[in-house]
Structure 1
Amino acid sequence: MNLSAPFIARPVATTLLTIGLALAGLVAFFKLPVSPLPKVDFPTILVTANLPGASPETVATSVTTPLERRLGAIAGVSEITSTSSVSNSRIILQFDLSRDIDGAARDVQAAINAARVDLPVSLRSNPQYRKINPADAPVVVIALTSDTLGQGRLYDAASNILQQKLSQVGGVGQVVVSGSSLPAVRVELNPTALSKYGIGMESVRAALAAANANSPKGAIEVGDRRYQIYSNDQATVAEQYRSLIIAWRNGAPVRLSDVAEVINSVEDIRNEGQANGKRSVLVIIYKQPNANIIETVDEIRALLPELQAAMPNDVDLQVVSDRTTTIRAALKEVGSALVIGVILVVLVTFAFLRSVRAGFVASVSVPVSLIATFGGMYLLGFSINNLSLMAMTIAAGFVVDDAIIVLENISRHIEEGMSRVAAALQGAREVGFTVVSMSLSLIAVFIPILLMGGIVGRLFREFAVTLTVAILISMVVSLTTTPMMCAYVLRRHGDGGGERKPGLFFRLSERAFDLLQKGYGRSLSLVLRHPLITILVFLVTVLLNIHLYATIPKGFFPQQDTGRIVGGIRADQSISFQAMRRKFRQFMEIVRADPAVESVAGFTGGFQTNSGFLFATLKPLKERDASADQVIARLRPKLAQVPGASLFMAPVQDIRVGGRQSNALYQYTLRADSLPDLYAWTPKIVEALRHDSSVITDIDTDQQQGGLQVNVTIDRDSASRLGISTSAISATLYDAFGQRQVSTIYNALNQYHVVMEVAPQWWQNPEGLKDIYVSTSGGAVSGTQSSSGISTSAPAAATSASTNASGNAAAAAAAAASQAIANQRTNQIAVGGRSSASTGQAVSTAPEKLVPLSALTTYQFDTTPLAVNHQSMFVASTISFNLAPGKTLSDAVTYINDTMREIGVPSTLHGSFQGTAGAFQQSLSNQLILVLAALAAVYIVLGIL
């Protein structure tokens, strides 16, 4: 059976089919997504929960652990890690690669619902979850700066305008705003003034909570008209809150401004963002897993003029990091290498065939096969990336082989005197099976890669399949288009069909080929005359390769220079935010001053005040004198001069495995049978690893047990004797020092908060605890308790009048009514929502009985963890590190294992590599098996054929 015969007999149809195949690939090329690496979906879900004001240990025990118990029971969870910090719980679930992420998300939602009964009632909202890809880095970072507007206004504009608009761009997966927080009205209480008026902090909180209402009021209908009722039941700015009456004393109102400083500020003042030396708010944009990164960034940039026009005046938008700059350059470079490879293949083919017509026939298969491969990639859901383009580059050398085999055999028959069509039919029939067997044997090499599991298998599967598709298309083209072209394009040498007689080039090349052929013949004869020596050389070569395989250092992926550097700041665990902000600015200036750095942006604050993060964008390679690793190396000595803090920097990599965040690329996690062993040995191991910086650098650990705390000890007997509960003391402390959100301000775009705490001079000094007072009534004075928690006892005059004789009843009623009307007029902010505004009673009039906190408590300084980390639901510590120049991951693994043995780590302590280092170790376990399987597959296919 001759598969080529129908195509030789129908040259027009074959030509059109070939053109159609190429056009389909060309159309697919422009539709394929572009990314640095193949799409690898790590089924990962992030669960977050907020318990404002709670310590890391409280968050870990009351929020994280109950959630972990429920989430850990979900099928297919391969890794569960968590970090509990101040007010925040962060749990990352990584599932098996075969697990459907949507089904896993439904299971996570069910687990969160089941865990709700175990969570504290003070949790403001249900834990939230979302799907993430830990391998994704931000594609774009936009900085908002202004010379006149405050950080709160910038954050508000970023949250209300940029975040919403950018989230609607095709391909955008997540938009994060950092560097500040939403605008807020901050009430900074004066504890001394409160005690003077006999007002408890809980009463102030309750008054503020009742000061805003966003509830329906109904309507009035007059004849054929309807009037909607509206009232000024909201206060939106600080000025409107200052006149709020919070109590009556001796017939005079006590306004909020009498006991507090009320200012327009932000929800969390412990936040800082910077970009290129200016205070800024950062908008960090991530892409969806299957998005075309270049198209996504192009759409974002096209939207920027519209977004700039929507910003308030004097707000400047600047792109400080664009991930696609180096991706475009890398893909262009690989694409250029592919084109050069194709040209070289064609030139070599022409040079060896020494015939324009024959070279043309053989060369057609290369572009047709490669272009048509893009169509197969599109149908398989692949992308244009470095690995797929590398597969195409390698395929350029493979795809021409089949065509040359067919061409040579047909040419031989033509030279022997057969007609072109007959020679094409005969030659294609003779070598058709050879072409098929050769193509299948090449494909067999990639079968083990196709069956490879884990992350490495997912990454290289697209490489192997792309190469396989190219080889298969080349086989089809060689058995259809190539013999058809041979039948109608080739000419016998010397015929008058347009071929010229051999020229100088032909004669010179013929001599060179004769010499090459004779040399090969002599070497072949020598080998055949000494078979034992030949076999011995073969065995030595095999043994040498085995030795090299065992001794050559191994790595996971080569270190990339993507033109982007990320940095994590770790300061002393007891550092204040004010000091942290100074160090953050120092680091930013040092990095910015490097001549290779084009821009730098970063932020600090939030849940961990001793940490920060920065993004540095390097100049293009042509404009800088150093690689990313070299830039980091020369910055290290300068960064080390900043006392009390460290900045760990690493180049952004296209592949990152694992969900735990760290300040370096690679991770080693420690767990112990007892917590004291873990906490005692982790610093020792870190110190031992730092002795030799020639293998690993930037060594850090997420174990932070050295934070400072003020331990307030309650005298429960004294508190009980005075009628004060521990919850009342805790609530008062939260009111004073917790940046407590006590009321909500509504507007058309967003919701804002009223934040209450004591003035800075009290929260910046532990001695301020002595000026805090607790109400013996828990925050409400005697009298009728309103639904809002504010006492509604009658004013003193009215209460006194109501106890007089019945003859004075009318006067008492009149006095009460007059006082009620005065209250309503004086209090500029109506009490709505849950309060009893209809009574006319604004606030209480009787002084509360206040007890100094110092009479009920004592305090002492102690240490506390800044974060509690779990691995597989057990407390763990993770050591992160980067590789020293010239070292590989296998060197680091050996060094860490040797160090652990040398310092005598007890058997109760267990260590394991996580993330990228863990994936590397896993890949080593089956690497040899894959090599042997590839060899076996080739021989099996050849044996069958």
Structure 2
Amino acid sequence: MKLVNVSVKRPVGVIMIVLAILALGFMSLRNLAIDLYPEIDLPIAVVSTNYPGAAPQETEKLVSEPIESSVSAIEGMETVQSQSQTGASIVFMQFNTGVNLDNALLDVREKVDQVKGMLPEGAGEPNVLRFDPQQIPVMWVGLTGDSPEELQQIAENRVVPFLERQEGVASVSIEGGKDREVRVLIDRGQMNEYGLNTQTIIQTLNAANQSASAGAVEKGDKDLQIRIDGEFESVQEIKDTLLQTEGGAQIRLGQIADVEDTYEDASTISKVNGQASVVLSVLKKSDGNTVETANNVTAAMGDIKERLPENVNMKVVLDTSEFITQSIDSVMMNIIIGGVFSVLVLLLFLKSIRATLVIGISIPIAIISTFTLMYFTGETLNVLTMGGLALGIGMMVDSSIVILENIVSYRQQGYSMVEAAKEGASELAPAVIASATTTIVVFLPIIFVEGIASELFTPLALTISFALIAALIVSVTLIPMLSSKLLTKPLQTSGRRYWFDRFLAKVNEGYQSMLRRVLKWRKTTILVTLLAITGSGFLVPMIGTEFIPPSDQGQIEISVTTPAGTSLSTTEEVTGKVNEKLKPYEEVIETNYVTIGGGGFESFSSSANEATYTMQLVGPGDRERSTSEIMQAIDEDVSGIPGAEIAVSEIGAGFGSGAPVQIQLNGPDYDVLSELADQVVYMIEDVDGVHNPESSTNEGRPEMQVQVDRDKAAQYGLSYQQVLSQVELGFNGQVATRYRDGSDEINVRMILPEEERQTIADLEGMTLQTPTGSLIPLASVAELKQVQGPVTLLRENQQRQVNVESEIVGRDLGSVSEDIRKELERLKFPDEYSYEIGGQAQDMQEAFGDLALALVFSIFLVYAVMAVQFENFLFPFIIMFSLPTIIIGVMLGLFTTGLPLSLPAFVGIIMLAGIVVNNAIVLVDYINILRRKGIDRYEAILEAGPSRMRPILMTTLTTVLGMIPLAIGLGQGAEAQQPLAVTIIFGLTISSLFTLLLIPVVYTYFDDLSNKVTGWFRKEK
């Protein structure tokens, strides 16, 4: 090849190109973004619409259903889901993978605009926006001090603005603080005495709190702007606001109301390690990087701390980037260890430091070159892409080994260093390119299939392909050039490592003896192989299946739900009992962050009867139990706490949409669906592996309904809206104006005094002011009823739905799903009612289907590449018989290590389809070479096998040993690559053994068949 000749003739040029590539690679590495997993593009749009005062049933019928109908016909739509709550509708639209969400959002807005006029009066403007379910805070920062009020001010005025200016930060939200508020506590008796009503007071406050421009006047050669500043400058000015009575007299606001400078009622309480705190959650921009954003925020915190008061402390509560960084560091360490193993294998076989150096240098060059290709294709440094480099570390040297061995062969024949490099590399370059191509083409189908499997593993496929391409280029350019300069003498055939040569000789003798036996007992060999393949298939049910292996991120979530309607203080009392149960775990809990009155960062709503704990455990090396084991222990301890439903789960344990198991019950009536959901929960809670099954139907919230009699209200001159606004003002308050204090804008809220709005009796005894100024009791125009308010109503694809969700513990997802399916088949569903198993179980099933299709196409591509290489259809077909033996090693490996068949393991099987044929290619090709020289078939096989044993052992051992660190699961975040590495190690090892014995037997059968066919054609002629 010309490329080889040029590289040997121009070593300085090659070195300069390599240095330039290395420099570019290091620059690319510095600019590569770091993340845990590849970013999955889930095209999801959301339409949110407010409908104040409407019950969930009204919201569903009048808002959710019209919007669902309008958007469901949009091209590329996969699923439409809706949540109808009290006063709000949320419609989720998930599009097919690959749909351009920007274009889809335009279509959604167009459809929503068409139906907007059909929405009921009182419904707000529908908001259309994109939604990213993976968009969770990258960091939580806690502020602790003397009072939540002071911390709120500091957070709003100093910390949040500074953090939001940092690169990569999208927004910072505040939890646990209290906002300042000026309250005007009205006295209805006094108001009535002076003939005033609330609307008059609100209009007067607004008018009195105004600033305006009144033109300009000349002063010399300048125009001075006239500005009338009438805004309130103190709370006293609000008290002194003049009100005009009906009789024309003027009174001050303070005469009919108490004006207080206070704080809003707390809706949430945040505690960090038991101490009341204000917690800031930092969201990154959609195109921002988690690690970079977290680093920028951490650096900014160092600057802010110096300017905070002495009594205020700021610290990181949770940082999601820490696990990412630790995982990447672990993979980097595995790459280094794998590289060392590969180099040791080379040194053992080659018995030459110089020869090992020639090949070993290709590893870092290939890796660094890969970073450049990753940068220009927009990939990130994540657990899977870095795992791809770790997996490919052994395969990178395969091409170089073959080239170097041939160069050494020519060198031993007496060729000069330069000529040996030219001839040796040129002779095998086409074969090496073809061999590497078979490994690379298996990844093409993964790139082109759709779904989450492609989204996850395309970056891994590209990374390994880039690494192999870089290694291939190095093998045909840099290896010949270095060989022409460094291989001053042939490799040693004796010396202190002669023991290894004797060992290899014994291995070759044993292998040759085995070859004689299998060639003598060909049918027995085929039968034993078939039995081994069949027997390995029986291991599949014992192995089980799962989606993505869970990662031990050391995070646990406790969800506390007290009965609907429970007050914030009562829920806080329950969390106190939970805290008592958590005391024995203080040694393993690094940070304990609880939000009372919030639904957690994944929730769309919050309530006073909910509390969420987010706990970060100490590192795995500092605790004896795994996160899952600690989670189960805590679950047992807190399960007996009365007055609340408590669910304990592991954060970040899975991957995919929703809970591991999600049973979707569909039908026309919510009451029936709720009953079915309760039955399903009861049936599956005894299934082994099911943990905390829950129904999406919750106990209704108790509420007091005020049913206004419009006719009676009209008799007093009151409209329905006036009754509603007076009740709302009395118990919830109404913002009359905003008071500016420095840079803060504070609500001035009119509301009844607290003692007049606490009990049901206060509501029943509330007085309404009529337009004539008289006071009437609320009961004279309305009937009060205490009812159980409805819950959130769910729909999917325009059909009502109730979900039952469950975590899994101690078993694989596939086995648990199958057992649940059997239980559900026993349940008799009424007509028009059905169920589906969704969540990660559905994602797993779809992903396995996509990867199975990719595997079929990969095998076809491998055959096509070999047919081109051999220019023959028969020999590639013989080589393909090495593929079925993969199943033996894969099943044996997973069974031995106790790992289920997961998506990474399936990708490992696809990779094996391109790897295992290389050994068979080497063997069959050399048999053909010997036969063309006139050697008998039997003798050719006996000679080709042992002579090819050395390169086969070298390439297999470098690949296998390079993956051992990943297979052991060293470091954090290694769980995702472990099944892939185990699959390749066992699959390649076992299939290599079968290949060395089975392929010669298959070769003889097809050669006999070919001879018979050829003889038959000759007789016909």
- Does residue 1:725 correspond to 2:719, yes or no? yes
- CA deviation map 1:684-714 (0-9, x unaligned): 322333344x321122233235211112222
- CA deviation map 1:506-531 (0-9, x unaligned): 22222112112212222222222211
The answer to whether the 8 A contact 1:180-1:268 is kept is: no
- Does residue 1:911 correspond to 2:825, yes or no? no
Q: Which of 787, 811, 819 is matched with 1:887 structurally?
A: 811
C-alpha separation between the residues in 2 aligned to 1:57 and 1:156? 40
C-alpha separation between the residues in 1 aligned to 2:235 and 2:582? 39
2:627 aligns with 628
CA 273–130 in structure 1, closer or farther in 2 if over 3 Å, else same: farther
1:448 aligns with 445
The answer to whether the 8 A contact 2:211-2:228 is kept is: no
- CA deviation map 1:626-670 (0-9, x unaligned): 222122111112322332223333333286444x7xxx5653332
- Does residue 1:512 correspond to 2:503, yes or no? yes
- Does residue 1:571 correspond to 2:562, yes or no? yes
C-alpha separation between the residues in 2 aligned to 1:510 and 1:240? 100
C-alpha separation between the residues in 2 aligned to 1:176 and 1:448? 43
- Does residue 1:671 correspond to 2:662, yes or no? no
The answer to whether the 8 A contact 1:178-1:282 is kept is: yes
Residue 272 of structure 1 aligns with an amino acid whose one-letter code is I
Superposed, 1:476-487 pairs within 5 Å as 476-487=473-484
C-alpha separation between the residues in 2 aligned to 1:875 and 1:702? 12
C-alpha separation between the residues in 2 aligned to 1:690 and 1:246? 65
The answer to whether the 8 A contact 1:5-1:425 is kept is: yes
The Cα of 1:170 is off from its aligned counterpart by: 2.0
CA 573–900 in structure 1, closer or farther in 2 if over 3 Å, else same: farther
C-alpha separation between the residues in 1 aligned to 2:306 and 2:525? 77
- CA deviation map 1:729-786 (0-9, x unaligned): 2222221223433433456746442333333334331111222222332xxx5xxxxx
CA 177–667 in structure 1, closer or farther in 2 if over 3 Å, else same: farther
1:644 aligns with 643
Superposed, 1:9-408 pairs within 5 Å as 9-50=9-50, 55-57=55-57, 59-61=59-61, 63-111=63-111, 113-114=113-114, 116-119=116-119, 122=122, 126-148=125-147, 150-151=148-149, 153-180=150-177, 182-190=179-187, 200-221=197-218, 228-231=225-228, 233-235=230-232, 238-245=235-242, 248=245, 255-257=252-254, 260-267=257-264, 269-309=266-306, 311=308, 314-408=311-405
The Cα of 1:197 is off from its aligned counterpart by: 6.0
The Cα of 1:435 is off from its aligned counterpart by: 0.3
Superposed, 1:776-795 pairs within 5 Å as 776-777=770-771, 781=772
CA 647–751 in structure 1, closer or farther in 2 if over 3 Å, else same: farther
Residue 724 of structure 2 aligns with an amino acid whose one-letter code is S
Q: Equivalent residue of 2:346, what SS?
A: helix
The Cα of 1:596 is off from its aligned counterpart by: 1.2
C-alpha separation between the residues in 2 aligned to 1:318 and 1:259? 47
Q: Equivalent residue of 2:37, what SS?
A: coil
Superposed, 1:784-823 pairs within 5 Å as none
C-alpha separation between the residues in 2 aligned to 1:287 and 1:47? 22
| Bigger Cα displacement from structure 2, 458-467 vs 592-601 | 592-601
Provide the aligned C-alpha RMSD in A. 3.0
1:845 aligns with none
Q: Equivalent residue of 2:624, what SS?
A: coil
CA 888–588 in structure 1, closer or farther in 2 if over 3 Å, else same: same
CA 465–295 in structure 1, closer or farther in 2 if over 3 Å, else same: same
- Does residue 1:681 correspond to 2:676, yes or no? yes
Q: Which of 531, 534, 545 is matched with 1:554 structurally?
A: 545
1:785 aligns with none
Residue 608 of structure 2 aligns with an amino acid whose one-letter code is T
2:609 aligns with 610
C-alpha separation between the residues in 2 aligned to 1:256 and 1:602? 42
Q: Which of 448, 466, 471 is matched with 1:469 structurally?
A: 466
- Does residue 1:596 correspond to 2:520, yes or no? no
TM-score w.r.t. structure 1 length? 0.84
CA 567–258 in structure 1, closer or farther in 2 if over 3 Å, else same: farther
Q: Which of 855, 859, 862 is matched with 2:780 structurally?
A: 855
C-alpha separation between the residues in 1 aligned to 2:411 and 2:155? 74
The answer to whether the 8 A contact 2:549-2:654 is kept is: no
C-alpha separation between the residues in 1 aligned to 2:660 and 2:230? 53
| Bigger Cα displacement from structure 2, 438-447 vs 307-316 | 307-316
C-alpha separation between the residues in 1 aligned to 2:56 and 2:584? 37
Q: Equivalent residue of 1:403, what SS?
A: helix
Q: Which of 704, 707, 719 is matched with 1:710 structurally?
A: 704
What is the aligned-residue identity percentage?
24
Q: Equivalent residue of 1:882, what SS?
A: strand
Q: Equivalent residue of 2:79, what SS?
A: strand
2:766 aligns with 772
The answer to whether the 8 A contact 1:171-1:287 is kept is: yes
The answer to whether the 8 A contact 1:70-1:112 is kept is: yes
C-alpha separation between the residues in 2 aligned to 1:87 and 1:589? 38
1:806 aligns with none
TM-score w.r.t. structure 2 length? 0.78
Residue 356 of structure 1 aligns with an amino acid whose one-letter code is I
Residue 97 of structure 2 aligns with an amino acid whose one-letter code is L
- Does residue 1:530 correspond to 2:454, yes or no? no
The answer to whether the 8 A contact 1:2-1:428 is kept is: no
Residue 19 of structure 2 aligns with an amino acid whose one-letter code is I
2:512 aligns with 521
The answer to whether the 8 A contact 1:36-1:654 is kept is: no
CA 921–157 in structure 1, closer or farther in 2 if over 3 Å, else same: farther
Q: Larger helix proportion, structure 1 or 2?
A: 2
C-alpha separation between the residues in 2 aligned to 1:720 and 1:943? 90
C-alpha separation between the residues in 1 aligned to 2:361 and 2:708? 87
| Bigger Cα displacement from structure 2, 869-878 vs 346-355 | 869-878
Q: Equivalent residue of 2:393, what SS?
A: helix
| Bigger Cα displacement from structure 2, 563-572 vs 236-245 | 236-245
The answer to whether the 8 A contact 1:135-1:655 is kept is: no
- CA deviation map 1:382-422 (0-9, x unaligned): 11111111111111111111111011111111112222222
C-alpha separation between the residues in 2 aligned to 1:887 and 1:749? 57
C-alpha separation between the residues in 1 aligned to 2:865 and 2:643? 64
| Bigger Cα displacement from structure 2, 188-197 vs 327-336 | 188-197
Q: Equivalent residue of 2:209, what SS?
A: coil
Q: Equivalent residue of 2:379, what SS?
A: coil
- CA deviation map 1:58-99 (0-9, x unaligned): 554555455445444544333333434455444433332212
Residue 728 of structure 1 aligns with an amino acid whose one-letter code is Q
CA 855–55 in structure 1, closer or farther in 2 if over 3 Å, else same: same
C-alpha separation between the residues in 2 aligned to 1:745 and 1:70? 43
Q: Which has the higher contact order (CA 8 A, sep 6+)?
A: 1
The Cα of 1:201 is off from its aligned counterpart by: 4.5
The answer to whether the 8 A contact 2:566-2:608 is kept is: yes
- CA deviation map 1:86-129 (0-9, x unaligned): 554444333322122333344445455555545566567x4545
The answer to whether the 8 A contact 1:708-1:861 is kept is: yes
- CA deviation map 1:121-166 (0-9, x unaligned): 6567x45454342124321101122204x43x53344345433332
The Cα of 1:342 is off from its aligned counterpart by: 0.5
| Bigger Cα displacement from structure 2, 734-743 vs 359-368 | 734-743
Q: Equivalent residue of 1:391, what SS?
A: helix
C-alpha separation between the residues in 2 aligned to 1:347 and 1:675? 66
CA 878–448 in structure 1, closer or farther in 2 if over 3 Å, else same: same
C-alpha separation between the residues in 1 aligned to 2:221 and 2:584? 73
The answer to whether the 8 A contact 1:59-1:89 is kept is: yes
2:689 aligns with 695
